[in-house]
Structure 1
Amino acid sequence: MNAIAPAPNLRGDYAAAAPDYTLPQRHAAIPPADHATWRELHRRQSALFPRHAARASRDGLALLDCADGVPDLARASAALGARTGWSLVAVPGLIPEDAFFAHLAARRFPVTHWIRRPEEMDYLEEPDIFHDFLGHVPLLAHPDFADFLQGYGAHGAFAQRHGALRPMARLYWHMVEFGLIREEGGVRAYGAGILSSAAETVFATESAVPRLRFDAARVLRTEYRIDDLQPLYFVIEHYRELFALLDGLEGALLAARDAPPIPVGAVLPTDTRI
């Protein structure tokens, strides 16, 4: 989840942010070197999309037309707003859960305003604009996923009040950051953590790693790791499955809160492999 209490070692300019953690993008002031970094990252990753990315991610990326440099969030917001009513807001980086949920509930997606350094092309610890934009934003043009993400954010206050943030984070991690969908005769990636990583894009869709049929209760209890390729992935058949779980999510969050977590990478006898 792109949400955490800001810490002194985080890279973004939190002092310049408004109370809701937004700040101006100032697209015209972005240095040419940052645009060059974006173009190289976009070139490498978009080349993998035809074979590995979900149709909705490919279509959304084509709509956004962002190959030439760091995207202008205002321009992208206009395109998304016409499709699904979403807009983008620039933020310093990771932001607190309450601010993050509030933005999603209002159909605003927080996008980190800075881009990684050239020596970080393959890995960095914090999400940057490449991860947030190329990974997350294209899917906001798909109505079913867009509605799910807004509903997810609307449940954030409930999760905070009832101590169920951990199940909420698991849902976001497995199904927003690392989700797969079955389509076009195979398994394709739509999760942002996959599609913003060249290594994970191929690994998630082509390796022998366990890929399990999506089950909401299972996902809400399943722990994850943040420092390596994922040891398993969950697969949906359609984004409507994610939207459907919002009906009854409060009860499911409480049940997952009170149940023992499922260890990282564990495959259960009740799981259905894809």
Structure 2
Amino acid sequence: MDIKKSNSGIIYSCYHNQNRDGEHFVPEHTLSFQIDGKLTLNDGTKEYSSTKGSFRLIRRNQLIKFIKQPPEKGDFKSISIYLDQKMLKDFSLENNIVATSVKKSASVLNIKNNTLLDIYINSLIAYTDTDYLNNGAIVKTKINEGILLLLQSNAEFKDILFDFSEPHKINLEAFMNQNYHFNVKLDRFAYLTGRSLATFKRDFEKTFNITPRKWLQKKRLQQAHYLISKEGKKSSDIYLDLGFEDLTHFSHAFKKEFGCSPKKIIPNFYL
């Protein structure tokens, strides 16, 4: 049985004897501590692995794929602390802390453990066995404590946490070629490229001479054909990574595009 204890800001997760994979959009900065097991994150360009005892900051407005692996004969356990924009803005005003520059950095940043952070995490773990994390005042206090400790561990985090700007308009072609395999709605792609949905669709068709939905499916299927024919991959191993929700839909779309099912493709990676 899986266990997830949550409130508006702190989540304790425990998964028993199973691997889990998936993807999601990270809307808020997230502090994540690995109690046990292994978590692998991928932002489309780089893979980040975390094992027992790892503490990290996942930046907001990221598309992330994840694999959660429990240890042998054990459980995957983690605690996530969500730093939403309202709480960070309130913290900024109360403590007169502002970003002084735009900080470009990786999607996932490792945080070096220290005694105070260890005490902080142990207190959250202890709270998961009680009802304390259902108390909004306590949750707010613990999140603010986490922000203070994070700033003390690395002063450069200030320019990440307190940068409240929204995504600016970026190169559409480069972004889509990097992120086409994420299964998110068009309005999410639009937001991350700094556009309204209408502008995104208009710019997309000017760039690719095809609608976003048709381009996404064609791009994903072309990559699938390459992985099957050149690398000998199986459909069941790749359809989720390429943004398809189920294997049946993938197989039907593949056959419609290439005239045969994925099983009919003969790998030629050894030729």
Higher relative contact order (CA 8 A, sep 6+): 1
Which structure shows the higher strand fraction?
A: 2
What TM-score bracket applies, with the shorter chain setting the length? Answer: under 0.3
Normalising to structure 2: TM-score of the pair? Answer: 0.23
Task: Select the structure that is richer in helix.
Answer: 1
